[in-house]
Amino acid sequence: MRNRLAVLLPAWAWLLIFVAAPAGILGAIALAEADPGVPPFRLAWSTAGFAMLVADDYYLGAFLTALRIAAMTAGLCLAIAYPMAMGIARARPDRRLLLLALLMLPFWTGFLLRVGAWIGLLRDEGWINGLLQGLGITDAPLPMLYTEGAMLVGMVHAYLPFAVLPLFAAMLRLDPTLLEAAADLGARPAVAFATVTLPATAPAAAAAFLLVFIPAAGEFVIPELMGPSEANLVGRVLWQEFFQNRDWPVAAALAVSLLVLLLVPIRLFQRLEARP
Amino acid sequence: MTALLRAEAITKRFGPTLALDALDLEIGQGEFFALLGGSGSGKSTLLRIIAGFETPDSGRLLLDGTDIAATPPWARPVNMMFQSYALFPHMTVADNVAYGLRRAGVKKAEAASRIAAALAMVGLAGFERRRPHQLSGGQKQRVALARSLVMRPRLLLLDEPLGALDAGLRERTGFELRALQRETGAAFVMVTHDQEEALALADRVALLDGGRIAQVGPPREIYERPASRFVARFLGAANVLEGRAAQDRFDCPDAGISCAGAIPADTVAIALRPERIRIAAAGEGPNTARGIVQDVAFRGDDSLVLVDLGGGATLRVAHPEEGGPPPDRGADVTLCWEAADVVPLPS
């Protein structure tokens, strides 16, 4: 009993200090009243911050945009991850490790550096526009950076491995003779994929979707650095409220709302993971 | 017999390994055919080539006279029952059986009656809504059979069909397979490593060795008249004695025995089945041997007696129960056999 406690104590202490306490402080600020002093709030039992989120469509819009972009990112990641996962799973066992290492290779570079690299590629004076103009294909720079497309490229690039890994594990578990049986019964490869591979890997696909969707919904850096200025995702709005408007109760209320909202997909993910 | 399937000089390599070496084979309409062999003999490769999962490097594969060697598996009128059964785990039994019919675009009403008939044929009516994980091994095997047979293939391939079943179920399932084969009139091609299974079920057996056919023929023929030492040893573990052929005689100097009979000049060894050798009171001359009983194993309807002939040669003798108690270990015995039971082996 004492040993058990000794093992668990650091973990509980960690959770208390770095999860429970900040969450408590966040909740307290969300219920506080805005005040022009330092710190910019006064502890109270006020629901003004939450009331503001409901009253102003701007915040609802921020949530919807964030959910839409997160869903698009997760969808694109799935579409790209399926063939990648299938390719890696079908590769010779000694090649698989290499391919997985290549998949994780971008993580060896800092996140901001990778975003910076995309900016270098996509901006008006960037490599792609330079190449297009140099070859005479276009005579003016194509506006690529600061578009929703650029934002999605950045997000997909950042989160793709999270989608590939669970799908790869599912593909590895998929019995290849099932696909042979499908072919034997008259299914062309595309039909066999749709009727056998897809249903058999559906739980993993849902898990992959959620693994991308959950962090993407609160993403701030990529929309800020690569997205259009009007793309007010909830992460960005949160930042604005906190640092520009210095309205901490509204910012905290936003953060609490996002957290509660994301509990739904997190719970879904846990249920998928718990399945046999 | 009209040929349904004909393999002509089929060769297949996997890297440096020659899996099939210019193999020729003919399978007739409605025939129950067994491809028998050990691991690495090429039997599974041949089955996968017939199914279309592997393409031969060279040679022709004719189905009804049409070369199908390059036809993909989904376009072949050939179906396969997999060793692991390969049932789709996310589908019910009925959906599994319906899978091929849906791909073929069979109308719903017709499909429903064909599915019901196929499940009834394998004795699984009433199991339509079950899922594969709710079935026993024997039931899964029947679903796999129904899923193939519902396609009404002219050629059904069976990969170790009894391999995953308990001993008790194997015999019954074997008889059922034969009944199904007669009922459907389809040709069945079965791969197995178990000679008893092949001999019991098939109309004809091909014994494969190193990517070539060692011998092909009806079970009784290849059992009684093995064409080579390999066949004799593989089927029923016959005694194979090396020696030299002389005029109407075959001498085995190691065993110190000599067999008289119709021995062709090219004979390099002889086969003697354990059940053809009798333990006699006394005797001399050709077709007899003397030795010391090394060990005795009771097998139910007979006892297997190992007799040491000296010179490193041992004979396996099956001593029937009705022949009285078997000799004791260490006993000095005389063995004899009929000249007609000596099988000359040319290779």
Specify the pLDDT at position A209: 94
> For an interface test with B, which of A92, A185, A188 has the most B Cβ atoms less than 10 Å from its Cβ?
A185
Structure confidence at residue A123 (pLDDT): 92
A104–B contact, CB cutoff 8 A: no
Cβ pair A185:B103 closer than 8 A:
yes
Domain with A194 in it: what CATH number?
A: 1.10.3720.10
Inter-chain residue contact A196 with B88, CB threshold 8 Å: yes
Residue B326 pLDDT level (bands cut at 50, 70, 90)? confident
Please count the CA atoms within 13 angstroms of the CA of B316 that sit on its side-chain side.
15
> Using the beta-carbon criterion (under 8 Å), do A200 and B90 form an inter-chain contact?
yes
The answer to whether position A132 is within a domain reads yes
Question: Degrees (nearest 5) of the Cα angle B206, B211, B213?
Answer: 30
Residue A81 lies in a domain: yes
The model's pLDDT over B6-58, given as tens digits with 9 standing for 90+, comes to: 999 999 999 999 999 999 999 999 999 999 999 989 999 999 999 999 999 99
pLDDT of A213 higher than 90: yes
Whether B100 sits inside 8 A of A175 (CB atoms) is no
Confidence band (pLDDT; 50, 70, 90) for B91?
A: very high
Tell me, what's the pLDDT at B288?
86
Supply the mean pLDDT for chain B: 91
Tokens for B44, please give them.
């599974």
Residue A65: pLDDT over 90: yes
| Residue found by looking up tokens 């999270």 in the block | A162
pLDDT at residue B167 in the model? 81
Residue A1 pLDDT grade (very low, low, confident, very high; cuts 50, 70, 90): low
Residues of B with Cβ-Cβ distance to A183 under 8 angstroms: 52-53, 72-74
Residue A12 lies in a domain: no
Residue A2 lies in a domain: no
The two three-digit tokens of residue A265, written as one number: 């997909």
Q: Which of A272-276, B303-307, B326-330 is predicted with the least confidence, judged by mean pLDDT?
A: A272-276
Per DSSP, A249 falls in state: H
B144/B135 Cα distance (integer angstroms): 12
- Residues B186 and B162: their CA atoms lie apart, in Å, by 19
Question: What is the nearest CA distance from B213 to chain A, expressed in angstroms?
Answer: 26
> To 5 degrees, how large is the angle CA A148–CA A151–CA A156?
125
pLDDT classification of B171: cutoffs 50, 70, 90? confident
End-to-end CA distance of chain A: 31
Q: How far apart are CA A163 and CA A231, in angstroms?
A: 24
Q: Is residue A9 included in any domain, yes or no?
A: no
Give me the domains of chain B, ranges plus CATH numbers: 3-229 (3.40.50.300), 240-345 (2.40.50.100)
**Omega of the bond prior to A203 within 30 degrees of 0, cis?**
no
pLDDT on residue B27 = 95
Furthest CA-CA distance within chain A: 75
CA distance A220 to A199: 34
B52 touches chain A (CB under 8 A): yes
Per the CB < 8 Å rule, is B80 touching A200? no
Q: Which is more confidently placed, A9 or B1?
A: A9
Please write the tens of the pLDDT for every residue from B73-86.
999 999 999 999 99
State the pLDDT at residue A73.
Answer: 97
Q: Is A187 on the interface with B (CB under 8 A)?
A: yes
- Residue A39 forms part of a structural domain: no
Q: Identify whether the C-beta of residue A232 lies closer than 8 Å to the C-beta of residue A13.
A: no
Q: Find all residues with CB under 8 Å of B147, minimum gap 6, and list them.
A: A185, B87, B96, B97, B99, B100, B118
With tokens 């060692």, the residue in question is B214
* CA B197-B200-B204 angle, 5° bins: 95
Q: How far is CA A71 from CA A155, A166, A198, A211, A214, in A?
A: 11, 18, 19, 11, 9
Query: Quick one: CA dihedral A196, A199, A202, A204, positive or negative?
Result: negative
Q: Which residues of B touch A92 (CB under 8 A)?
A: none
Q: Looking at the partner chain, which of A185, A196, A199 has a beta carbon nearest the beta carbon of B151?
A: A185
pLDDT tens by residue, A21-53: 999 999 999 999 888 888 888 888 888 889 989
In this prediction, residues B105-134 reach a mean pLDDT of: 94
A195 touches chain B (CB under 8 A): yes
Asked whether the beta carbons of residue B51 and residue A184 sit closer than 8 angstroms, the reply is yes
Q: What is d(CA A142, CA B144) in angstroms, rounded to the nearest whole number?
A: 58
Mean pLDDT of A222-226: 92
* Separation between Cα atoms, residue A180 and residue A176, nearest integer Å: 7
Q: Which token pair is B294?
A: 């090394």
Nearest CA in chain B to A178: B86
A93: number of Cβ within 10 Å = 7
- 3-state SS assignment for residue B66: strand
By Cβ distance, the residue of A180, A186, A195 closest to B86 is A180
> ipTM of the predicted structure?
0.85
pLDDT of A14 over the 90 cut: yes
Reduce the DSSP state of residue B243 to 3 states and report it. coil
Contact B250, B344 (CB under 8 A): yes
Q: Per-residue pLDDT for B1 more than 60?
A: no
Contact map slice: A 196-225 vs B, CB within 8 A = 196, 199-200
| The residue to which tokens 């929703």 are assigned | A148
pLDDT band at B120 (very low <50, low <70, confident <90, very high): very high
How far B80 CA sits from the closest chain A CA (Å)? Answer: 7
pLDDT at A196 over 60: yes
Q: Which domain holds residue A63?
A: 56-274
Q: Which of A53, A65, A69, A50 is nearest to A232 (CA)?
A: A65
pLDDT category of residue B313 using cuts at 50, 70 and 90: confident
Nearest alpha-carbon partner for A44 in A33, A57, A59, A53: A33
Q: Which of residues 15-34 of B touch A (CB under 8 A)?
A: none
Residue A19 lies in a domain: no
CA A154, CA A117: separation in Å to the nearest integer? Answer: 10
**Cα separation, A129 vs A80, whole angstroms:** 25
What confidence score (pLDDT) does residue B287 get? 85
pLDDT per position as a tens digit, B244-298: 888 778 888 777 788 887 788 888 888 888 888 988 877 777 888 888 999 999 9
Terminal Cα-to-Cα distance of chain B (whole angstroms): 29
Asked whether residue A43 is domain-assigned, the answer is: no
Cα-based distances in Å from A88 to A97, A103, B8, B276: 9, 10, 37, 58
B89 in contact with chain A, both atoms CB, cutoff 8 A: yes
Q: Which strand (E) or helix (H) includes residue A203? A: helix A202-217
Looking at per-residue pLDDT, the higher value among B311 and B26 belongs to B26
Rounded Cα distance between B260 and B247, Å, is 9
Mean residue pLDDT across chain A: 91
Confidence of residue A275 (pLDDT cuts 50, 70, 90): low
- Chain A residues with CB-CB distance to B86 below 8 A: 175, 177-178, 180-181
Total domains present in chain A: 1
Considering only CB atoms, which chain B residues are within 8 Å of A190?
Answer: none
The DSSP annotation for B225-274 comes to S-SSHHHHHHTTT-EEEE-EEETTEEEETTTTEEEES---TT--EEEE-G
Over 80: is that where the pLDDT of B243 sits?
A: yes
Q: Give the tens place of pLDDT for each residue, B189-204.
A: 999 999 989 999 999 9
* Interchain CB contact of B299 with A (< 8 Å): no
H-type alpha helices, chain B:
43-51, 93-103, 108-121, 137-149, 167-184, 195-201, 219-224, 229-234
Q: Do A184 and B79 touch (CB under 8 A)?
A: yes
DSSP codes of every residue in B274-318: GGG-EEES---STTEEEEEEEEEEE-SSEEEEEEEEETTEEEEEE
A interface test, pick of B44, B55, B68, B74 with most A CB neighbours within 10 Å: B74
Structure tokens at A61: 């819009």
**Contact call for residues B337 and B272 (beta carbons, < 8 A):** yes
Rounded to whole angstroms, the Cα distance separating B346 from B160 reads 31
Could you tell me where the DSSP H helices lie in B23-79?
43-51
Decide if pLDDT at A276 tops 60.
no
Q: Which of B72, B86, B104 sits opposite A175 (nearest CB)?
A: B86
Per the document, the length of chain A is 276
Per CB-CB distance under 8 Å, the chain A contacts of B90 are 199-200
Instruction: Determine whether the interchain pair A181/B72 forms a contact, defined as Cβ–Cβ distance below 8 Å.
Output: no
